[in-house]
Amino acid sequence: MRFDYDVIVVGGGHAGCEAATAAANLGAATLLVTMDMTKYANMSCNPAVGGVAKGQIVREIDALGGQMGIITDLSTIQFRMLNRSKGAAMWSPRAQCDKARFSALWRKTLENTPNLRLWQDSVNQLIIDGVGESRRVVGVRTQMGVVFTAKSVILTNGTFLGGLMHIGRNSAEGGRAGDAASHGLTEQLVELGFEAGRMKTGTPVRIDVRSLNLDKFERQDGDSEPQKFSFLSSIQPIENQQPCYLVYTSQEVHNTLRTGFDDSPLFQGLIKGIGPRYCPSIEDKLRTFADKEFHQLFLEPEGADTNEYYLNGFSSSLPWQVQCAALQQIEGFENVEIYRPGYAIEYDYFPPTQLTHTLETKLIKGLYFAGQINGTTGYEEAAAQGLVAGVNAVRKSRGEEPFVLGRNEAYIGVLIDDLVTKGVDEPYRMFTSRAEYRILLRQDNADLRLTPIGREIGLVNNERWVDFEQKKSLGESLKNFVQRQGVAPDEISDYLKTINSAPLSQKKKIADVLIRNNVSLFDLIEIVAPLKKFVTSHNLSREIVEQVEIEVKYSGYIEREKAIADKLQRLEEIRIPADFDFMNITSITIEARQKLSRIRPTTIGQASRIPGVSPADINVLLIYFGR
């Protein structure tokens, strides 16, 4: 047995698993402590990965050398690329997964990762050394009384810190259904000077699909040509997909649900935590959107070999009797049988403005927070934070430069900068609208943006690097070909007519034709013989062709956004000393001085994004620093 480690990760959820594998793959002796070794990366809510902006995050995790994309692909039962009708910056991959297989694959990955050991227990105390600003974490004590020491500790406790579940007027302690809550850490962290708060999330009823009439629902199949999350060529897209179904509520359903409002813990003040705005409970929807006659629900399988289905959009903490009665009034649900009702859960979190961009706490050196403990919601956001915390925990112990992604480099960079700069007043969820450089941060180019960085920090192995270099080379070859190869008017005249595009008056480069509306590179490959020969001879994948099409078609927008990003990046290069006293700058507002002193930004760019700090305040800082 070993009791001394480089990195200890507390919590085996999505953040913890990604943090532990990242640290171990960098060569650090790592220990992952979790309360239940049968539930690694458990999908407590919907067994799906990705979605709007979240899909981009998963591709970024994969590009950096993380695990979530690979495990998702190996457990996918349906794949869809969302927002295909919109611009490429909005395309977002989403996979419905086999819940049990996803968790089992994570366990297999963890057990076979060199340098990583596992321990089943609950951590209820941190071991702190030093006083004042020199305080640092040196280990943990578990509920069993075992002491493990380490150079760094990463807390990824999810909903387990002070977890309290609600169904109607009934409440019970728990981190999720069937699992105990965790106590001790919150109380200790508050004593150490941390600010803590309460948040809420919820989950819907689980249904036995055999009790439903599926013919009454609108079937929703996966993509006819499914893609995948991982950029590894050895991982293949799913072949046999399972369907999901669209379901609709009605006024009768709504009226039945309203009969339980008097017993709703949400409306009666029993729940003190703040819930997610973008994933509200069904009762919250009825209150907020009182004029809507129906709401759309998604009936989705929990796995390939189970009758358990998830009713997405029907999250609730109403009494179970009310939930059942309301479900029976949905067409096709008349004979519904459930495995368990929906419930709400409250838990402790720590405002993330108490962290640096490495996710290390400002109060205790060597202590990192990742996942829902930071007030975020979603498996993907948690996994991204876990990876960043895991890498930084190792790099700091080795005296290396911190690993920080900029807002112009990744959605992960946007996520973490939002958290540590702006904080959260409700569970944070990533959207494409949160990123100012959406056309740069697409899902298709995550590997081009981040795999070289992953290689530099040591997470990208040789297999991934060879794949990356080959794909990059083939993509550049195709891009050069379409920019160089001409096409005659008569070659594509019929095609241009079918898409209502003006005919060519003279020979044009393929790239010049491609930038027209409705022109598809896949169509041109079938029409233009030299192009088809080039693609066939080089055996170019659909992924490479699509990536080149996006880069050529949106080249003007991409270059313009790069120029804007480069201009704003100059503010990120103006550093602010760690011990700088903002209260001494009397020419900026009191509000700005107070918020700057609390957040302690490290650059002028970060300072400019703090709510309450105006452009005039930033101008004063620029003058003060001689810019």
Helix (H) or strand (E) holding 191: helix 185-191
pLDDT bucket at 56, cuts 50 / 70 / 90 = very high
- pLDDT of 368-417, one tens digit each? 999 999 999 999 999 999 999 999 999 999 999 999 999 999 999 999 99
Q: At what angle do helices 379-397 and 54-64 cross, to 10 degrees?
A: 30
The Cβ of residue 360 has, within 10 Å, a number of other Cβ atoms equal to 21
pLDDT single digits (tens) 247-260: 999 999 999 999 99
**Higher-confidence position of 113 and 287:** 113
Beta-carbon contacts of 431 under 8 Å, excluding residues fewer than 6 positions away, are 52, 53, 278
- Mean pLDDT value across residues 124-145: 95
Q: Is the pLDDT of residue 627 over 70?
A: no
Residue 579 above 90 pLDDT? no
Residue 120 pairs with which residues in a beta bridge? Answer: 34
Q: Is the pLDDT of residue 278 over 80?
A: no
- In sequence order, the 6+-apart residues with CB closer than 8 A to the CB of 557 are 439
Output the six-digit token pair for 516. Answer: 């027209």
Query: Taking 70 as the threshold, does the pLDDT of residue 46 lie above it?
Result: yes
Report pLDDT digits (tens) over 168-214. Answer: 988 899 888 888 888 999 999 999 999 999 999 989 999 999 999 99
Domains and CATH numbers, the chain: 4-158+189-199+347-455 (3.50.50.60), 202-344 (2.40.30.260), 461-560 (1.10.10.1800), 573-624 (1.10.150.570)
pLDDT band at 466 (very low <50, low <70, confident <90, very high): very high
Query: What pLDDT, on a 0 to 100 scale, did the predictor assign at position 551?
Result: 95
pLDDT at 458 > cutoff 80: yes
Nearest to 35 by CA among 172, 149, 181, 140: 181
- Which range, of 237-241, 382-386, 610-614, averages the lowest pLDDT? 610-614
Over 80: is that where the pLDDT of 626 sits?
A: no
pLDDT (average), residues 29-52: 95
pTM recorded for the entire structure: 0.94
The number of C-alpha atoms within 13 Å of 196 and in the hemisphere containing its C-beta is: 17
Does the pLDDT value for residue 566 go beyond 90? no
| Helices (H), ranges, 218-360 | 251-258, 282-288, 320-327
